[in-house]
Structure 1
Amino acid sequence: MTAITDAQWERALVIIGQVAQKQGFGTTPQRLNDSPGDHDEAFHSVGDDGRITLGTAKHTVLGLDVGCHLTAAAKARGHL
């Protein structure tokens, strides 16, 4: 599999932003690196510290970091 090309990059961000918004993330990414052939962006959750990252250079990587969301029963037990 190849990386997302520069020509495809902005469209990829729009698509990820649309999906992210449905899950409570902002649609405008934080641009961490935006060089020809080397891009890194992060979409941040509106309500917590969640983050979706998308990066591309030699390969494309999609990452997701979310907080711990325990069930009521787990909270009552005091552990996972």
Structure 2
Amino acid sequence: VLKVVRLELERATSKFGPMASAHEGYAVILEELDEFWEEVRKKRENRSYLHMREELVQIAVMAIQAIGDLEL
């Protein structure tokens, strides 16, 4: 899991650059959390566990990126 997070962090950083503010960090993390929540709300038999995992990785990546970019 950590290798996947590291690779996605490198990809996201090169594609989008650094976060400019805490507001941006919050918005990006909230967007990823909402995407995870959309999948969670589905009936169990309709959920994509792969999609849930992808969104959780994105949440981790955006949180780590925010910590680094905002020097927290």
What TM bracket, shorter-length normalisation?
0.3 to 0.5
Higher strand proportion: 1
- Higher RCO, Cα 8 Å, sep 6+: 2
Query: Comparing both structures, which one devotes a greater share of its residues to helix?
Result: 2
- TM-score, length of structure 2 as denominator length: 0.34
